[in-house]
Amino acid sequence: MQVLQRSMAACLCLLLAAPSAAWPQAPAEGVPRPQAGKAKARAPYQSGELHGDERILHALSRFTFGPRPGDVDVVRSIGLDNWFEQQLHPASLDFTDLNARLAEFPAMQWNPENLLFRIPSNAIIRQALDGKVSIPERGALHAVYEDQIYRVAEKRQEKAEKQHADLNKPALGGTPMAAPAGMPAGIEVQAERSESPTPLSKETIGASAAPSESGSMMAATQSPSAMDPIDIDPILALPAQQRVSKLVLMQPAEIDGFFKSLRPIQHVALEAGLSPEQRETVGDLENPERLVVEELTAQRLTRDIYSTAQLQEVMTDFWMNHFNVYLRKNEATPYYLVSYERDVIRPHALGKFEDLLEAVAHSPAMLLYLDNAESIGPDSVAAERAKMAAARRPGNQKKAREGLNENYARELMELHTVGVNGGYTQADVTQVARILTGWTVERPQRGGGFEFDPNRHDPGTVKALGQKFKDHGEMEGRDLLHYLATRPATAQFVSRKLAIRFVSDDPPQSLVDRLAKTYLSSGGDISAMLRTLYHAPEFWLTNVYRAKVKTPIEFVVSAVRASDAQIDNLRPIANELRTLGMPLYGCVPPTGYDWQASTWVSTGALVDRMNFALNLAASRLPGITTTWSPQADSSAGTLLAADAPNAESEESRLEAQIVAGGVSDSTRSAVMQQFQQQSAQATQVASARPFAAQVLRQQQGPSPLERQDQLLAGLLIGSPEFQRR
Amino acid sequence: MNTSRRFFLRNGALAVAGTTAIPSFLVRSVLAQTTSAPNRRLVVIFQRGAVDGLNMVVPYREKNYYSMRPTIGIPQNQVVDLDGFFGLHPSLASFKPLFDHGNLAIVHAVGSPDMSRSHFDAQDYMESGTPGLKSTQDGWLNRALQAEDALCRCGHTPFRAVSLGADVPRTLAGTVPAIALSNLNNFSVGGRGPAPSQAASAFEAMYGESRDRIFHPAGEETFEAVKMLRAANPSQYTPSAGADYPNSEFGNNMRQIAQLLKANLGVEAAFTDVSGWDTHQNQGNVNGQLANRLKDFSDSIAAFWRDLGDDAGNVTLVTMSEFGRTARENGTGGTDHGHANAMFVLGGEVKGAKVYGKWPGLDNDQLNEGRDLALTTDFRDVLGEVVTRTLGASNLELVFPGARLAPANFLRLV
């Protein structure tokens, strides 16, 4: 029935679409093309080429995270081809606005070692508690370590007490397993973290936006160390620098109680007026690891929303997904991801594929994520030593070194280069894993970098993929990467994936071949491939116009861009991505997220998209404000019935702003019906009691007219047309 | 079809008149009445993090069990005896009556043949149903529903495949539409209330009239689901007397699955997961971390079973976890990543009161790689039998490609 119903719908589409097929494909001179806001939505199976503003809209929808108001005009004025070339050469663009926004996150410029030291992970704190890491002697950082050590020690204590209690009475059940404290750093912790596929737990992202979580409220009433609310307010009233100093000088038990007692509104007050560095200090004192994850997420969303180098960000997103690394692989991963995105992926996003592949293969993030850091050659010096050690201490329960790990070797071929049908066997996987032994990470718990360890490297020449790879240390692996990067199968694999991202879910083979040809002739030049794509006739066919369904990140970011929202808090956006099943850095398997429609269109997801649209448009997301009517700031409340905007013009205005290329007649009439209903009510209020509306606005928020606009905008963002690009 | 469902159909027709010309969900619902889908429901529970099967279903006659687990072993006099060889962890006591009544079967030394000890790989392989193969796009439970479709052009409601959680899990990914819900009460557009919001009506008209070949059907599906849920009002199904769900996330999920099943929304497959099993450290024995998790687990499932009452007859529930844990306890009072595990199969048609599977033994030379319970039953043999008997999916090559399942090898537990 499912199938039957869908095919009936398709037939219906064809019938209804027939009249629009008679549209002139190339309008004669003097015949005005429809304006952006009025353009009829076109059915995707129409043949022919795109023209005029539709070309601009199409390019903007594919090479950016969606147009912002005014973008079409800008591109029209500088010319589409010029705009595209600018996007391929982002260095020439103006980053003043973006840089000002990114200045909010100073820690995002640090290297992993510095980041781990200054915003310590739980693993670092446990090491400090056990005397393996020295504690900074003074200043705010000293306080951070003292506070975190206090918390870890307290957890250990609680746990010991609970175990004692458990021994004396039967278990009551229903108690979730507490995070094990005091466990040795490393592997065991990694396992603990990776057990749940739900990435970015609420505690890690949403928490400081919503410290009203029952946990902290409970603590406020139960914990003997919780501060009386009276003590908090005077601290919040202090000037910024004194406020931070006061926190730094508090004793660990005191500051623990302070944060546990803090109500959401007080949390906002605590951060008010702080410099970025001061805000980071406060975040560090409260929960260091969460600070890193929040800033990592926030800087990414800031770039996606505001960067002028949109294509670079779209490609960064593409490669972050192609070379996926899961945030919760282990406790150091969030710290390494900062550098992974900033130093490995983004600088190469428009460069040469082989350089990118090399950089990824040398990155601690990938080496740890896919376990190559632990892989040991079966005949290596390290393996011999381990065997001898084991023989000396039989029955040793310590985890034995497991030897070769094939995880990265397999994904390198299956997911990063030649693809699953790239013509390799299981024996090749094992041999490739041998070649890559010794590629590891120096002191991974402390943020160390890439290291080639000759003791772990498997000696001897390896035959893999029909080639001989001579053993010359690290170069053996680099030869392998070069070999893989220059395979026609890799050209095809990468080309198809690009075509799926930029053109359609089922791209024509002719286009894929065109891209693969450029790949091979240009030495894997990603910009050259994008230029080929831009100039390919297949890219400009009307049947690919709006053929792609937006993934959650594309939907959410494009909605924020289209609404020109004022954003003081990015957490609701990060949370929405989790709700929609696409959290940033949260894809557990190495496959990355899918680009195809079927993954993202589901019943639950559509409800969530519609609700996000309504909430965004009505400024109901905390810290995100949208303004729809030009008069809203000053005089909206004083509008009388006579001044009320004409229904149609209001709809056109919002439609032109939000949905590039316009909506269908049926969508428009569904929206208009709402507008007219609301309008009638608003007019009644306004005419019956002219001042009532103004008073209402001042006391209760938006005026009826603003509420109309919010509903209209919400409906447009939730419309089928806006779900496509 | 019970009264409230029929009531909904009639009133639903009035409710949507004027918004969409042909309410397609009505057409489908009518079909659902006439062509009878197999009236069986399958509930799948994933214990994420790798539960310690040897302390869940204890082989208490194995001498080596106690020498390998000096501090975490469950003493013989504390296990809930099942058959003179195996006994349940005392925190699973609420499973004992289900076992004794013949509704609960246990399979031991079962799991994925893949040797991965990585949580995410092993979960991925189990959920895709293709151990060792990363390129599989969909999940085994979705393919089981596809296999059912091949047999029967039955009408289906949007609640056919449901997951209690934030997103559709890998297990349910695929071409058969699935709904993910974390809270039944939040499943509505533009706020909840007795009547659809203004925004919801506008969206319904918009998607209903849309010519978009993807969003038109998806939109209809969505509003059908939202309306069905509102009309069925599952919150009216308060748990039956004696069904005491623990106040935990898992307990809530099980309660909501029971509500959906009792509301007759057409659920065929439901999924949820429960985590906290990765007990590397101080897992405890009769009491402790694992004991607490097991209590929540078994009490939630026992409450679910009791809650269903008469409906329980055509429900089958199966539990799984990505791998077992090491036979020996480690240096920190816990266990590390192992291999084979135990699965529970509960249902009206289950031939329970028995521990199935060939027991490989726990002597040192019987262990997998010298450290874990060896595997004697492929989890796909269990799931293959369950989907054949519940969803009627007989094309097992579609459900578990490459596994070459043969009904002759099934354990005959359903």
Model confidence over A272-289: pLDDT tens digits? 999 999 999 999 999 999
Q: pLDDT tens for residues A311-366?
A: 999 999 999 999 999 998 888 999 999 999 999 999 999 999 999 999 999 999 99
Q: Determine the pLDDT at residue B346.
A: 98
Give B-chain residues touching A671 at CB under 8 angstroms. Answer: 202, 206
Is A715's pLDDT higher than 50? yes
C-alpha span between A311 and A349 (Å, rounded): 9
Interface of A with B in 376-405 (CB under 8 A): 397-399
Q: Determine the pLDDT at residue A651.
A: 83
Q: Nearest chain B Cα to A603, which residue?
A: B222
**Residue among B44, B107, B118 nearest B357 (CA):** B107
Q: pLDDT tens for residues B212-225?
A: 999 998 898 889 89
Q: Determine the pLDDT at residue A682.
A: 58
Query: In whole numbers, what is the pLDDT of chain B averaged over residues?
Result: 87
Contact call for B289 and A178, based on CB within 8 A:
yes
Rounded to the nearest 10°, the torsion over CA B292, B298, B301, B306 is: -120
Q: Determine the pLDDT at residue A215.
A: 35
CB A419 within 8 A of CB A591: no
Distance (Å) from the alpha carbon of A397 to chain B's nearest alpha carbon: 7
Measure CB to CB from residue A719 to each of B176, B206, B248 and give the nearest one.
B206
Q: A177, A326, A329: which to substitute to probe chain B, counting the most B Cβ within 10 Å?
A: A177
Give B-chain residues touching A194 at CB under 8 angstroms. Answer: 118-120
Contact call for A173 and B336, based on CB within 8 A:
no
CA-based max dimension of chain A: 94
Q: How far is CA A62 from CA A310, A533, A660, in A?
A: 10, 11, 12
Q: B214, B253, B260, B322: which to substitute to probe chain A, counting the most A Cβ within 10 Å?
A: B214
How many other CB atoms sit within 10 Å of the CB of residue A240?
A: 14
Measure CB to CB from residue A614 to each of B154, B166, B190 and give the nearest one.
B190
Asked if A230 is an interface residue toward chain B (Cβ–Cβ < 8 A), one would say no
And the tokens for A620? 């109901």
Q: B210, B265, B336: which to substitute to probe chain A, counting the most A Cβ within 10 Å?
A: B210
**Residue among B127, B116, B109, B106 nearest B45 (CA):** B127
What percent of chain A lies above the pLDDT cut of 70?
A: 77
Q: pLDDT tens for residues B230-286?
A: 888 887 888 998 899 999 989 999 999 999 999 989 999 999 999 889 887 789 999
Stated length of chain B: 414
How many other CB atoms sit within 10 Å of the CB of residue B243?
A: 18
Q: Give kind and range of the element (H or E) at residue A681.
A: helix A665-688
C-alpha span between B155 and B160 (Å, rounded): 10
How many other CB atoms sit within 10 Å of the CB of residue A604?
A: 26
Q: Determine the pLDDT at residue A514.
A: 98
C-alpha span between B353 and B348 (Å, rounded): 12
The confidence band for A421, taking pLDDT boundaries of 50, 70 and 90, is: confident
Pick A433 or A648 by higher pLDDT.
Answer: A433
Is B9's pLDDT higher than 50? no
ipTM for the predicted complex comes to: 0.80
And the tokens for A372? 């190559």
| DSSP three-state, residue B111 | strand
Q: Determine the pLDDT at residue B221.
A: 84
DSSP state letter for A33:
P
Is B28's pLDDT higher than 70? no
Give me the sign of the Cα torsion angle A289, A292, A295, A296: negative
Contact call for B202 and A170, based on CB within 8 A:
no
Question: Average pLDDT for residues B74-102, to the nearest whole number?
Answer: 98
Asked if B297 is an interface residue toward chain A (Cβ–Cβ < 8 A), one would say no
**Residue among A309, A295, A296 nearest A347 (CA):** A309
Q: Give kind and range of the element (H or E) at residue A159.
A: helix A139-168
Interface of B with A in 372-391 (CB under 8 A): none
For the entire predicted model, the pTM comes to 0.78
Q: Nearest chain A Cα to B188, which residue?
A: A607
> Strands across the sheet with B80-81, in order?
B57-59, B86-88, B80-81
Residues with Cβ < 8 Å from A221, sequence gap 6 or more? none
Q: Nearest chain B Cα to A202, which residue?
A: B166
DSSP state letter for B194:
S
Mean pLDDT lowest for which of A14-23, A48-57, B275-284, B338-347? A14-23
Contact call for B135 and A414, based on CB within 8 A:
yes
And the tokens for A48? 């022919």
The confidence band for B137, taking pLDDT boundaries of 50, 70 and 90, is: confident
Q: Determine the pLDDT at residue B29.
A: 44
Asked if A130 is an interface residue toward chain B (Cβ–Cβ < 8 A), one would say no
CB A433 within 8 A of CB A405: yes
DSSP state letter for B406:
-
Residue ranges of E strands in A245-362 = none
Q: Determine the pLDDT at residue A47.
A: 57
Give A-chain residues touching B169 at CB under 8 angstroms. Answer: 197
Give A-chain residues touching B331 at CB under 8 angstroms. Answer: 397-398
Query: In whole numbers, what is the pLDDT of chain A averaged over residues?
Result: 82
Ordered alpha helix ranges (H), A405-471: 407-411, 426-435
CB A177 within 8 A of CB B289: yes
Stated length of chain A: 725
Is B103's pLDDT higher than 80? yes
Pick B133 or A493 by higher pLDDT.
Answer: A493
Residue ranges of E strands in A596-676 = 624-625
Question: Average pLDDT for residues B310-326, to the nearest whole number?
Answer: 94
Asked if A578 is an interface residue toward chain B (Cβ–Cβ < 8 A), one would say yes
User: Phi/psi at A525 (nearest 5 deg)?
Assistant: -80, 115
Classify residue A11 as exposed, middle or buried by CB count within 10 Å of its CB (0-12, 13-18, 19+).
Answer: exposed
The confidence band for A30, taking pLDDT boundaries of 50, 70 and 90, is: very low
CB A327 within 8 A of CB A337: yes
Residues with Cβ < 8 Å from B63, sequence gap 6 or more? none
Is A117's pLDDT higher than 50? yes
| DSSP three-state, residue A277 | helix
Q: Determine the pLDDT at residue A679.
A: 63
The confidence band for B162, taking pLDDT boundaries of 50, 70 and 90, is: very high
Measure CB to CB from residue A718 to each of B168, B203, B280 and give the nearest one.
B203
Asked if A500 is an interface residue toward chain B (Cβ–Cβ < 8 A), one would say no
Distance (Å) from the alpha carbon of A604 to chain B's nearest alpha carbon: 5
